[in-house]
Amino acid sequence: MRRHLVRPGTHVRLTDFDPADTGRHADEAAARTKLGRDIERLTRLQDVLYADRRWSVLVVLQGMDTAGKDGTVKHVMSGVNPSGCEVIPFKTPTEEEAAHDFLWRVHRHTPRRGHITIFNRSHYEDVLFPRVHRTVPHATLKARYGRINDFERLLVESGTVLLKFFLHISKREQGARLRERLADPNKAWKFSEADVRERRLWRAYQRAYEHLLTRCGTAHAPWHVIPADRKWYRNLAVAEVIVDALESLDLRYPPPALSAARRARLRL
C-alpha cells in the first residue's frame, strides 16, 4: 500500500491519483478473502495493543460525501473489541465548541493509550469548509495549517500512531451513489438538498483537499490517498495500512503479575 502514501513535501494534485485504482488486486473475491484475513489480524493486534498500553492509534477518515467513511468503519473495524475502540463523527460545531479554539473539540476525543479512535471527518473540516465557503479570514485560515501540524506532532510524540486517509472518489461515482441513496428507502433519509449544493462546489473542494494534503502531509503524520470508487478495494487498502502500522510497533503482552512459581502453587 506504499503506492497510496503521499511523501511529505509533495505538491499534491488529485488528478494524479486514479479513484478506480485497485493496485495488484484485480480479483474482487480474492481481495475480500484477503480483507477477512486482515480483519482477523487486526482483532489480534488490538488485543495486544489494549494490554500493552504503550501506544494509542488515531485513524482519520476524510473524503467527499459518499466516499465511504461510514462504510470503511463498518467493514474494516468489524472485528475489533468495542471496549477498546471509539468512533467520533465531527459535524457542525456546537455552541460550546465554537466558543473555544478550533482544536478544542478534537483534542478532547483523542485516544488514550491502548485504544483505537476513528475520526469520521476531523479537525480538517475547519480548513476545508472555511476555504470553500470563505467563512474565515485568509490569515486565520492560513495559520490553522501550522497549528494542525503542531497538534499532530504533539500526538505522535506522546505515543499516538496517527493514520490519515483521504478516500478519493470520482465525481461520476459520487453521482451514482447519490442517485442510489435517493432511490433506496433505507438510505433516502441520508439525502438532503445540501448534498446537491455541495456537489456543485466539487472543484473547489478538490482544490481545498489538494492544499491540505500538501500543507499537512508531514513526516510524523503523512497522508494516504485511498482510491474509493471500488468499495472492496478501499476497505482492503485501509485495513492493510492499519495492520502494517500496528505490526511495526512490536506489540507485546505485559509480563504476568504473578511469578511462574507462584502461579504453580495456586489452587483454583
pLDDT for 196-209, tens place per residue? 999 999 999 999 99
Whether the pTM exceeds 0.85: the reply is: yes
Give strand ranges (E) for 96-170. 116-120, 160-168
Q: Mind listing the domains of the chain with CATH numbers?
A: 2-250 (3.40.50.300)
Angle, in degrees to the nearest 10, between helices 202-215 and 125-133: 140
Q: What is the model's pLDDT at position 56?
A: 98
124 grid coordinates: 480538517
261 grid coordinates: 512459581
Q: What is the model's pLDDT at position 2?
A: 84
Q: Average pLDDT, whole number, for the chain?
A: 95
Query: What are the pLDDT digits (tens) for 197-252?
Result: 999 999 999 999 999 999 999 999 999 999 999 999 999 999 999 999 999 999 99
Q: What is the model's pLDDT at position 194?
A: 87
Residues with Cβ within 8 Å of residue 23, at least 6 apart in sequence: 1, 3, 233, 237
Q: What is the model's pLDDT at position 120?
A: 97
Q: How far apart are CA 195 and CA 239, in angstroms?
A: 28
